[in-house]
Structure 1
């Protein structure tokens, strides 16, 4: 793919006009038009400004630099590299501090990076093959042999998961994520609209041997990361919606060896 095509596609995916992008990047609509038609070649600094203005993920900023003929700016360091030891320590601290509630860390594709001990509350009764690495959090959430049979509000929960994944694919097109979205849609079946309002958040209403659990989720990212690996990590924490859920999770943690 050429730079003009890459720039044009990314701008359209974000539903920005050439003028809007130009204003964000501190240039003119004429210059953006020339860049997209190939009549002008961008300098390295301009490519970086355009990528920032488009709010591209770091991986895509590197790709835009590459197709423009420049070396990538943002490193992609393996998570087990000694240089990222402080990051791994910080993640483990956050996961431990979230006990007795489940928390996981996933990568851009939803593959599980790590989790705290309470994650077992969510994986009870799943088919063993779904828990073989690489474990995909999106897949186990909606697979008929995964979490799905235990989710009392599966239609709402599935729509929440699929809509979030669809929005990601639309904003940052990726063949692997698109294939995963298609796979998960096949598990869910025809879409049905909710009977009423969902409230301030879509809960996970999960059946368990100790009683029903009602959980809502929060997602945390490293907002200031300049390394691709770190920027793509997401920490998803499950929080109790009611006191009964909190009590069950606290008891489960106390009983755990």
Structure 2
């Protein structure tokens, strides 16, 4: 999990004696489900992996996993819809734990326009759409920099979640053209604090800052894997262009 906790540190954080934790580690003592969950919390395990560890210990899973259209997740759907609608005319999309597109606002069409049909056939993987040469990649002006950023993030997620599907996706995307580069050092008077997405739209270059919104304290496996990826204009010209694109065309009446 990459926490780098010693056994003593972990025992203190989990509120259990180092001796008992040692017995658990060596198989001399069987952990209770409560101890498993406390240790998993301290190690930052994803909810799905906590369920897997509980099952391996002979216990029932602690966290449910609903479908997004189940009645229990209606408040989640409503919150997501409010975020997506409120972010228009700037692009925003809801993705699941494997970067599959769940929902998006109309402004995301800016990124999907011109992509080949095979990348837009559900389930749509937004990272594949972003980096595939038949998708957004051909319009990204700083592709090596943006590609490096996405691959690093994906690799970290795969390691944190110990998810074979994310490792497989990382290997696939790493094989796409574009090149890896280190984040360049800028000599500008105003230093850059985030990596922008520089995207060509017609004869214009649009610049975006991206943010990720997660649900706080999730208790459902599905909800814990959801994220809203939102893009904000990084300069006045991009703001003006996106607002102009969102205006309805004048009627011919």
Q: Please indicate, yes or no, whether the TM-score normalized by the shorter chain is above 0.5.
A: yes
Residue 239 (structure 2) aligns with: 246
CA contact (8 A) 2:45 2:160 kept: no
Question: What number of residue pairs does the alignment pair up?
Answer: 246
- Structure 2: gaps (5+ residues): none
1:230 is paired with a residue whose SS is helix
Q: 1:180 to 1:82 in 2, by over 3 A?
A: same
d(CA) in 1 for partners of 2:25 and 2:179?
Answer: 40
d(CA) in 1 for partners of 2:10 and 2:50?
Answer: 15
d(CA) in 2 for partners of 1:139 and 1:152?
Answer: 17
Map 1:1-257; keep pairs closer than 5 Å. 10=1, 13-188=2-177, 190-197=179-186, 199-209=192-202, 211-255=204-248
- Structure 1: gaps (5+ residues): 1-9
d(CA) in 2 for partners of 1:218 and 1:194?
Answer: 18
How far apart are residue 31 of structure 1 and its match?
2.0
d(CA) in 1 for partners of 2:62 and 2:150?
Answer: 32
Residue 6 (structure 1) aligns with: none
2:103 is paired with a residue whose SS is strand
2:5 is paired with a residue whose SS is coil
d(CA) in 2 for partners of 1:242 and 1:233?
Answer: 28
Task: Give the TM-score normalised by the residue count of structure 2.
Answer: 0.93
2:29 is paired with a residue whose SS is coil
d(CA) in 2 for partners of 1:238 and 1:32?
Answer: 45
d(CA) in 1 for partners of 2:89 and 2:72?
Answer: 30
Decide which structure has greater helix share.
1
1:124-182 residue CA offsets vs partner (Å, 9 max, x unmatched): 11111100000001111111111101000011100110000111112221111000000
2:237 is paired with a residue whose SS is helix
CA contact (8 A) 1:158 1:188 kept: no
Q: 1:163 to 1:208 in 2, by over 3 A?
A: same
d(CA) in 1 for partners of 2:47 and 2:240?
Answer: 41
Q: 1:187 to 1:47 in 2, by over 3 A?
A: same
The alignment's C-alpha RMSD in Å is 1.6
d(CA) in 2 for partners of 1:125 and 1:162?
Answer: 23
d(CA) in 2 for partners of 1:92 and 1:50?
Answer: 35
